[in-house]
Structures are given as C-alpha cells and as structure tokens.
Structure 1
C-alpha cells in the first residue's frame, strides 16, 4: 500500500485550527501521541549512533566517549538515571554544536532527577576547567555556579566520568549493554512513575 493510500485510511483529527477541535479529535491525537512516545528510546538510540566514527580530533570517537562515561558511572554503582545521563550527555553534539549540553538536558529532563538534569545542562562549563585555558578562555568559568547546590555534583561528574573518558584502551561496555537501561529510564517520565514503597 502506498504512502497516499495509508494516509487515506489513517484516522486523523478533522479540525483545520485547534480552536475547532473536538473530544473525538483529541482522542485520536492522544492515541497516536502515546504510540509515538513508545518509540522514543529507539529514536534516541538511533541519534546516539550518529556519534559513531566522529572523532573531532579526540583520541576516541564521540560514541566511545559517551559509552565510556556511562561505563565508568555504571561501574561506580550509579543509578540507572545517572548512567543514562552519562550516556546521553553529549548527544546534542550533532544538532547543538554551540549548546550541546542544553540539547541533551532537554531530551533527558523528564526522565532524570533535578540534579542529574542540572549536571547535564551545565557540564560544558565544568568540563572547560580541563581545557579552556589552552584555547584562551577562562578555565574557571564553572565558578559562576560556585554557590549552586549541584556545583560539587557537576564537578564530580566531569572529574570522574567526563574528562577521563577518552582512553582508547579502557574496557568500555558496548551500546547493547546500555540499551535496556535507556529503555527503562525513557519508558515513563519520573513524574509519572509510582513512588517506591518503603521497606
């Protein structure tokens, strides 16, 4: 069946402007939205794979760096949302060359803690501590966040995982290891998950 034929049989809303929408229209849209949402992890994984083979002058490609970050966090016993954040922290490199931390943070925001979101959103300034001075920039740019409650957590992320994840000889776990973790994390926003029952 051709694309036009599929479009003809697909049930769609009838309005031409949202102000004309009906309850029936929005039931159709909600149904399709929920179906589309279930494929989010697949789309994120496909985009992450774009980093494969992209070295940008670094000792390892961007995908290996991301996997190595996540591997180090996982081996340190970090929770799944933290590991997912470590895995995706640079996913914005392809579409947000000048603001990649914000792109990654926007993708992760519904699925990670406030602290993990903040780390992802601001890791660029913190990572700069390790190289900005070589490029004529202020390596202490991160100090503008000195009084923020998540300052130490972001500095730790960069020190333990991000800046150290460029080792071609490190025993980095493959993407297939992290796929189930990412799928669990992205299955439902944190705000919609049931609270854990105290033991």
Structure 2
C-alpha cells in the first residue's frame, strides 16, 4: 500500500502543477493507494468505511479490500451503488433500480461469510456517482474505489469517479488497482 498526504488542491491545480503527485500515483500504482487530506474530518460514533460498487472487476477488488479493512478496524461497511438517470430517460426506472440492487448484492456475495464480524449495509442511491459518494462518505473512515486500468492519460486510467472523489472527498480516499495489475 502507498499512503500519500496532500494539501487540498483544486482540480485544475492537481492536473496542471508540478506538485501534483496523487493522481499519477493512483493511476499507475499496482497496489492500493491511500490519499489523506491535510484537514481532519468528523467521524461518526460507530466508524464505517464506504465502498463504491459498479459491478466491474475493479469494483470487486475494491470490495475485497474494503471488507478486509473494515474487519481490521472493527468498522461497519457501507457498499454503495449509484444509479444515474440517463439523459434521455428510462422506460422503467423501478426495473433499472432493481437491476442495480441485484448487481450490488452479487458484488458483495460470499464476502460476509469470510468476514463475519463486518456489519454490511447495502445502499442503492440515485444521482451523479461522484456527488453521491462524496456526500455520503463525509463521516467515513475512508472511501474505497476501484481503478479501471484501461490505458490512456492518468484521468482515464483512474476513472472519473475515483478522480472526482480524489478532488472532492472530505475523508481519505483509497483506490484499489484493477485485479490483473493493469493501471
């Protein structure tokens, strides 16, 4: 694991200054990367970690990591999937949300048995994934996301949700690389 401390930089500063380290490290690391901001944030009485789940293999690695860390810290785990309404609308929003719930349950299936002390809470929310995850993780120990590792510039490697969380979250961010080491 790589742990970085960082000053709060705007998205523009993070991308266009020589002091920007977090984004390229997160995009290219072959191990989990934790980025801790300089400010403290308020935690809830009952600590929790939050993991963003989108059904990808990168999200599966993030779920595994989040379970392990929640168990080590005796914390709850909030597994969150965010459904974003398409621009052109959807015929059956309830069916789309049901499909998202099924994907979320499948993504965490079997892990509760290997981590019986972790209290797991599933949540499907509606909105923009970055906005929802950042808002909901305000009091979290950390927000865990996967990285896609598909190639291209660091922002493309990292993915828009991980990159958005890096710039806006008020808790430490953990990115977990693609399981086959592509990043």
The TM-score by the shorter chain falls in which range? under 0.3
**TM-score between both structures, scaled by the size of structure 1:** 0.25
Which has more helix, going by share of residues?
1
- Greater relative CO (CA pairs within 8 A, separation 6+): 2
Q: Which has the larger radius of gyration?
A: 1
With the length of structure 2 as denominator, give the TM-score of the two structures.
Answer: 0.27
- Say which structure is richer in strand: 2
